[in-house]
Structure 1
Amino acid sequence: MDVLVTGGAGFIGGHIAERMTRLGHDVTALDNFEPFYNVGIKEHTVEQCRELAAEGNGSYELVNDDLRDAELVNELVADADYVYHQAAQAGVRASVKNPRKVNEINIDGTINLLEAARNSDTERVVVASSSSVYGKPQYLPYDEDHPTTPVSPYGVSKLATEQYARVYSEVYGLPTVSLRYFTVYGPRMRPNMAISNFVSRCLHGEPPVIYGDGSQTRDFTFVDDILWVNEKLLESDAADGEIMNVGSTDNIAIKTLAKEVRDQLAPELELEYGERNDADAEHTHADISKVNELLGYEPATDIREGVGEFIDWYRANEEWYDPLVRDS
């Protein structure tokens, strides 16, 4: 099967490309290698996928280019059976500084992809959305019927992305599924995310820094659980046209998370606090009953197990992954 993964060298997209290659599919990864974070992390992902292909699994091709190139996107989509659309300008805080760029990449780029897919024989487009679409909670956990009032340009762009996918499904008959991810973490995640930042600081004898009072809560989802859902969509059409939460239901306060990392690595350290960013959501918590009903999804990794696995991976890959080691 021919699989196109946009953002295919990034965190989630890279894991999807790796999994699909391992499963024996012919994978094309599109990524523009924008240096939003260290591109060396993406290069490790690409090398791992190439090694898998060389070992006799599926095939793997990297296309170092941009989703905003409509002609290129048309060519790539025309050769794909399934499209996993993971490419996006990430970062809530970055979106506040430059909303126009977020719009161009996340919305215009998505329209390029959907237009190409509706004019091809694409069997399904799986779109990465985000819990950021919900904004301030009126109730928790969020179900898919909760009002969507995002509090950042990034959240707005993700809401537009999934709604375009829904419209292309309803109006043009293009099979699409949008997955609202809830704070995904795991190996090769962006090093400026809370968990990786806490681990890095503790490993170097520096206290974890919490932005705000730490009462904010997140539904952290281990990347393997995200992969399970994406892989399931290769074999099931039960969710076509749907928008679904994918979380862990494992809600934890940021302060508790910082303590968990600190206690595993450097229990003598005190926690530090910084100024909270207003664009950050106060709470996220996923109701996953819909994805459970349609696909049988059950998250397999709770936050404490996942943090332990991530710490083990971090130690083994610290030399190239940790910015304090890599840049020293």
Structure 2
Amino acid sequence: MKILVTGGAGFIGSHLADNFARRGHDVTVLDNLEPYYDLRLKEHNIDVGHRATSESDGSYEFVEGSVTDTTLLDELITGTDIVFHQAAQAGVRTSVDHPKMVTEYNVDGTVNVLDAARKVNVERVVHASSSSVYGKPAYLPYDEDHPRSPVSPYGVSKVAAEHYARVYNEIYGLPTVSLRYFTVYGPRMRPNMAISNFVSRCLRGKSPIVYGDGTQTRDFTYIADIARVNGKLLTTSQADGETLNVGSTDTIDILTLAETVRDTIDPTLEIQFAERQEGDAEHTHADVSKAQRLLDYTPTRSIREGVDEFIDWYRENRDWYEPLVMNS
């Protein structure tokens, strides 16, 4: 099967790409190498993708370019079976500072992908959405019918992209699926996220820093579960036209998360607090019953199990990964 992964050098996209290549598929990765964080991490992800082909009959090709380039998209999508659209300007806080850039990549870029796919009748476009679409909770856990009142330009951009995916399915018959990811973490995760920062600081004997009072809660999702549910969409049409939550169903407050990391690595460290930053949601918690029903999705790790695995991975890969975290 020929697969295009946009944003395929990033954290989630790279895991999808090397998993697909390892399974024997022909994978093309499109990424503009936006320097949102240290580009050496994306370069490492590309190397992992190339190495994945040594384990199978699959292929891996990296193309530097943007989803804003419609000519390039038309070229790459022609002959493609399935598109996994992961490309986006990530970062809630970045979106507060640069709302127009978020719109250009996340909304206009998504429309470009959908339109290119429509013209050549690809089998499916899987769109990466986010729990940021929900914003302020009217109730928890969030189900897919929960009102969407995002509190950041990033969340707004993901709501708009979801609607475009739905409309392209309803009007043009393009099979689309939107997956609402709930805070994804794990090996090769972005260095500017809470878990990677907590682990990095504690391993270097520094106190973890909590923004706000730490009462905010998050539903963290392990990357292997994200890769597995995307893999299901290679072979099933059960979710076409749908939007699905993909989370862990397990929540933890940020202070407890910091304490869990600290206690695992160095219980003598004190927790430090800093001013809460704009655009952060107060709580996230996923109802994944729809994904369970349509895709047989079941999360495999609690947050504590996943954090332990990430700490082990970090220690094993500290020589190359830690400098990237410190440089973020």
- TM-score relative to the length of structure 2: 0.98
Contact 1:320 1:326 in 2 (8 A): no
- Secondary structure (helix, strand or coil) at the match of 2:51 reads helix
Aligned to 2:289: 289
The verdict on how the C-alpha distance between 1:277 and 1:123 changes in structure 2, with shifts beyond 3 A counting, is: same
Are 1:11 and 2:11 counterparts?
A: yes
**8 Å contact from structure 1 (residues 185, 222) kept in 2:** yes
What's the CA shift for 1:316? 1.2
User: What is the aligned partner in structure 2 of residue 239 from structure 1?
Assistant: 239
Aligned positions of 1:90-239 closer than 5 A: 90-239=90-239
Map 1:74-93 → 2, pairs under 5 A? 74-93=74-93
Identity %: 64
The answer on whether the counterparts of 2:21 and 2:56 sit within 8 Å (CA) in structure 1 is no
> What is the one-letter code of the residue matched to 1:289?
S
Q: Which amino acid aligns with 2:290?
A: K
Q: What is the 5 A alignment of 1:28-107?
A: 28-107=28-107
Letter of the structure 1 residue corresponding to residue 100 of structure 2:
R
Note if contact 2:191-2:324 (Cα within 8 Å) is conserved in structure 1.
no
Give the deviation of 1:326 after TM superposition: 6.9
One-letter identity of the residue aligned with 1:237:
S
Q: Report the equivalent of 1:20.
A: 20
Letter in 1 for 2:21: T
**Unaligned stretches of 5+ residues in structure 2:** none
Partner SS, residue 322 of structure 1: helix
Distance 2:326 2:317 in 1: 10
Report how far residue 55 of structure 1 moved: 4.1
Residues in 1 aligned to 2:219 and 2:294: alpha-carbon distance in whole angstroms? 21
In the alignment, the residues of structure 1 paired with residue 324 and residue 219 of structure 2 have an alpha-carbon distance, to the nearest angstrom, of 28
| CA RMSD between the two structures | 1.1
Q: Distance in 1 between matches of 2:213 and 2:325?
A: 29
Is residue 22–residue 58 contact of structure 1 (8 Å, CA) maintained in 2?
Answer: yes
CA contact (8 A) 1:53 1:60 kept: yes
User: Aligned partners of 1:67, 1:278: CA distance in 2, in Å?
Assistant: 28
Q: Report the alpha carbon displacement of residue 79 of structure 1 after superposing the two structures with TM.
A: 2.1
Counterpart of 1:257?
257
Aligned twin of 1:305: 305
Which consecutive unaligned segments of at least 5 residues does structure 1 have?
A: none
**Equivalent position SS for 2:9:** coil
Give the CA deviation at 1:198. Answer: 0.1
Give me the whole-angstrom Cα distance separating, in 2, the residues matched to 1:124 and 1:145.
Answer: 23
Letter in 2 for 1:41: L
